[in-house]
Amino acid sequence: MAASRLAAGGPVGVFDSGIGGVSTLAAIRGQLPREHLLYVADTGHLPYGERPQAYIVERALRITEYFLSCGAKAVAIPCNTATAAAIEALRARHPGLPIVGIEPAVKPAARLTRSGIIGVLATSGTLLSDRFHALVRRQAADVQVLLKPCPGWVTLVEEGGWPAHADRLVAEPLEDLHRRGADVLVLGCTHFPFLIEAIRRHIGPDVPVLETGLPFARQLQRLLLTLGLARVAGEGGVSFFTSGDPAAVARRLERLTGRRATVERLPEPYC
Ligand code: DGL
C-alpha cells in the first residue's frame, strides 16, 4: 500500500480482542474529534492473551484487510496483546500504512517509583512477548519489574456481573504486588481500566495506577498530522463491528460506557 494512496477522508481502523479498546476511545475521540473510527471487537476469537502468536497475527492481518476494504487510512491497535504479537507482521505486510500500537506504561512507572519496584498487570501473551521484554530492558533496566498475568480479569470485564469469586480474583495479584513492595502499578491490558473501582477498593486511593490510552491517542494524532492525513472538517464518530455476537457486544458497550450503539457483524471472510 503506497502512503500517497491513503485519503485523509478515510476512516481509522481500530481493533481489540473485545471491548477492552473501548477504554481508549474517549482519549482518541478527544484528540481526533473529526475522525471516523471503525472499531472491531474481535470477540469471536477472545481472549487473545491465551492464543499463540501466529493466531493473533492471522487475526490482525484479516481485520486490517477489512479496514482497507473500507478505505481506511490508518490502523490503531489499542490492545497490548495484539500490538506485542502482531504489529511487526502488520507493518511488514503493509509498509505504507500508518499503524499505531499501544504499550504498557513501563517508562513512566520506572520514573515514578520510590521503592524501585513496579508491578505490571497484563495478559500472559503480553508479559511473555519479546516486545514487552525489550521495553523493560530499554525503559526500566534499573528498577525491579514484577509481572502479573491476572487470569480471569478479561472475562470479568467481557461478561460483566460480579460473581462470588470476583473480589478474590482482583485482590490476589494486587495483594501479592503490595507484599513484594511495588509502589506503582501499570495496567498493561486495555480491559483492566474497566476494573479500576474494584482495583481501588483493594489498593486505596494513593497508589499510582498508570495506563496509556491518552499517549496512544496522541501518538495516533501526531502520526495523522505529520502525514497530512488528519481530517480538518466535519464531525467524527465510531462504528462498531464484531466477529462475535453483535447483540452481546452492544450490551457490553452499554454496560461499560452507558452508551447505546449499533454493532454490526463483520462480513464473513473477516470473521
Ligand atoms: N485487551 C487486550 C490487551 O490489551 C487483550 C485481552 C485478551 O483478549 O486477552 O492486552
Residues 88 and 46 in one domain: yes
Distance 157 CA to ligand 1 centre (A): 11
Residues 222 and 237 in one domain: yes
Q: How far apart are CA 11 and CA 35, in angstroms?
A: 7
Residue 156 region by backbone torsions, left for phi larger than 0, else alpha for psi between -120 and 50, else beta: alpha
Q: Give the residue from 153, 152, 204 showing the smallest Cα distance to 178.
A: 204
**Mutate-to-test residue for ligand 1 from 16, 40, 121, highest number of ligand atoms within 8 A of CB:** 16
Residues 17 and 54 in one domain: yes
Residues 94 and 167 in one domain: no
Residues 117 and 200 in one domain: yes
Q: Are 101 and 77 in contact (CB under 8 A)?
A: yes
Question: What CATH number has the domain bearing residue 164?
Answer: 3.40.50.1860
The last residue of a domain, from among 173, 194, 211: 211
The last residue of a domain, from among 160, 193, 211: 211
The mean per-residue pLDDT over the stretch 70-94 comes to 98
Residues 144 and 191 in one domain: yes
**pLDDT per position as a tens digit, 172-224:** 999 999 999 999 999 999 999 999 999 999 999 999 999 999 999 999 999 99
79 is catalytic: yes
Q: pLDDT category, 4, cuts 50, 70, 90?
A: low
Domain interval for residue 248: 3-102+214-270
Q: Which amino acid is at 86?
A: A
Long-range contacts from 210-215, C-beta under 8 angstroms, 24+ separation: 210/105, 210/108, 210/109, 210/112, 210/184, 210/185, 210/186, 211/23, 211/105, 211/186, 211/187, 212/102, 212/103, 212/104, 212/105, 213/23, 213/24, 213/26, 213/27, 213/28, 213/78, 214/27, 214/31, 215/105
Residue 85 predicted with pLDDT over 60: yes
Q: pTM of the full predicted structure?
A: 0.96
Query: Can you tell me which atom of ligand 1 is nearest the CA of 81?
Result: 10
Residues 33 and 95 in one domain: yes
Residues 117 and 158 in one domain: yes
Residues 206 and 227 in one domain: no
Residues 171 and 98 in one domain: no
Residue 2 predicted with pLDDT over 60: no
Residues 199 and 117 in one domain: yes
Residues 194 and 143 in one domain: yes
pLDDT of residue 161: 86
The percentage of the chain sitting over the pLDDT mark of 70, rounded to a whole number, equals 98
Q: How far apart are CA 56 and CA 202, in angstroms?
A: 33
Q: Output the CA–CA distances (angstroms, integers) from residue 245 to 25, 32, 51, 252, in the order listed.
A: 21, 28, 20, 11
The last residue of a domain, from among 165, 187, 211: 211
Query: Can you tell me which atom of ligand 1 is nearest the CA of 122?
Result: 10
pLDDT of residue 160: 87
Q: Are 74 and 220 in contact (CB under 8 A)?
A: yes
**pLDDT per position as a tens digit, 140-152:** 999 999 999 998 9
- The C-alpha cell at 221 is 494524532
Please state the domain count of the chain. 2
- Residue 119 CA to its chain's centroid (Å): 18
SS3 state at 114? coil
